[in-house]
Copies of this chain bind each other. A is one copy, B any other.
Amino acid sequence: MPVSTRKIINDPVYGFISITDPLIYKITTHTCYQRLRRIYQMALAHLVYPGAVHTRFHHSLGAYHLMCNALGELSSKGIEITREEEVAAKAAILLHDIGHGPFSHALENILLKGIHHETLSLHIMRLLNEEFGGELQMAIDIFTDKYPKRFLHQLVSGQLDVDRMDYLTRDSFFTGVSEGVIGYDRIIKMMAVKNGELLVEEKGIYSIEKFLVARRLMYWQVYLHKTVLVAEKMLIKIVERVRALGARESSTLLTGTSLDFFLFEFDGKMDEEAIRNFVILDDMDFMHGIKTWSKHPDQVLSVLCQGILDRKLLKIKLQAEPFIKDLVQQKLKQACQRLSLTNEEAGYFVFTGEAVNTMYKTSDERINILFKDGIIKDISQVDNALIHNTLSSTVKKFYICYYE
């Protein structure tokens, strides 16, 4: 193989990440993949955890690295994985997040009208597949769970996939929240395959418990941290306000980027024009928008935008019960007074909602444990497991954001 397609990349998390295959190299140097350098992995979490400025680009490389390890481990245990399958699985994980837009989950619903990033990843994978003359077909089959060896898909997207293992490890590393550390190397060492399905050996049980608890901790301490939550809600309010103002007159709101398309033209159909605009859209565009709008004459918009820039965020409260209407009314009234706003305008500063830890749908996800005697059980059915209890239940919290 030509030297130029061999690369070693320094990674503070794993040491070195090696790229040895021409297809993998081609993907990583593609403009679509390079775009991920400009998408924060954790949206605005860096407002709380200043180190959390790592990118989707970096995460995807990390997940690819774990995929290399996992495939190597399974091969060494005698699981047949062809060279082609190996490359395809690696390509699939490299591309799994390629459909993320600006600020990822935070804006997915509003800016992209609810089109899921996996749908967009698939769109882009298909575009690349055409460009690459079909070389990505097997990767797409693995990604969409159509490939017969299901464990390859499960490594890309499943309860114990390398995506989650990397993001927990990496987000924990960059935030400095050491409690999020998981034993990814031990879990990988414990992986097995039976009847084409991914399993974990019995002695890996405690590592998996640890993984699930670390995930839970990262959710409440980081991903759904109340300050992160309020900042991301403010992003949504900004989009709503821009669109509301733009409905009358958009010229003063234009950013000169492809963001304009998604703000004012996009109808939710991912046609050719939408994709063309999407693949050049990134966090930088949205930040430019925020900087631009922070000087806009509309006070609602400028206050929200300047607030993001200066980290002057709305207040937020979380509780187990919904907030009573009276409180909302009172906060609305306050905002109207302090900022001299109409009631409708105050709604951009005072609002309620639910934060749900949607990651725990254990109903449809299983982590299969392989016992020494060959028996397979879901971890929730294992004696003495921590899992079947609290971890499995969805947790919902109610929040109120307001201006003070």
Contacts and interface: CB of A to CB of B under 8 A. Distances in A.
Interface in A48-68: 48-51, 53-55, 57-58, 61
Interface in A196-214: 206-207, 209-210, 213-214
A154 to B, nearest CB: 22
A292 B259 CA distance: 12
Contacts of A148: none
A46 interface: yes
A355 interface: no
Contacts of A206: 179, 216-217, 220-221
A210 B179 contact: yes
Interface in A264-318: 280, 284-285, 287-288, 291-292, 309-312
A390 B31 CA distance: 42
A365 interface: no
A53 B53 contact: yes
Contacts of A177: 10, 183
Contacts of A250: none
B16 A186 contact: yes
Interface string A380-398: 0001111001110001000
A76 interface: yes
A133 interface: no
Contact of A186 (B47, B179, B214, B312): B179
Interface in A142-182: 173-179, 181-182
B31 A310 contact: yes
Count this chain's copies in the assembly: 4
* Range for the number of chain A residues in contact with chain B: 35 or more
A334 interface: no
Nearest to A388: B390
A29 interface: yes
Nearest to A257: B291
A2 interface: no
A38 interface: yes
A311 B29 contact: yes
A34 interface: yes
A20 B76 contact: yes
B185 A256 contact: no
A390 B390 CA distance: 9
Given A57-B50, A179-B207, A173 B12 contact: yes
Contacts of A385: 390
A51 B58 contact: yes
A311 B34 contact: yes
Interface in A30-86: 31, 34-35, 37-38, 46-51, 53-55, 57-58, 61, 76
Listed from nearest, the 9 A-B pairs whose CB atoms lie closest are A12-B176, A389-B389, A10-B176, A288-B288, A179-B210, A179-B183, A50-B58, A12-B51, A213-B213
Interface of A: 8-13, 15-16, 20, 29, 31, 34-35, 37-38, 46-51, 53-55, 57-58, 61, 76, 173-179, 181-183, 185-186, 189, 206-207, 209-210, 213-214, 216-217, 220-221, 255-257, 280, 284-285, 287-288, 291-292, 309-312, 320, 383-386, 389-391, 395
22 contacts: A10-B175, A11-B176, A29-B312, A37-B311, A51-B54, A51-B58, A53-B53, A177-B183, A178-B183, A179-B181, A179-B183, A206-B217, A207-B217, A209-B216, A210-B213, A256-B292, A280-B291, A284-B284, A288-B288, A386-B386, A389-B389, A389-B390
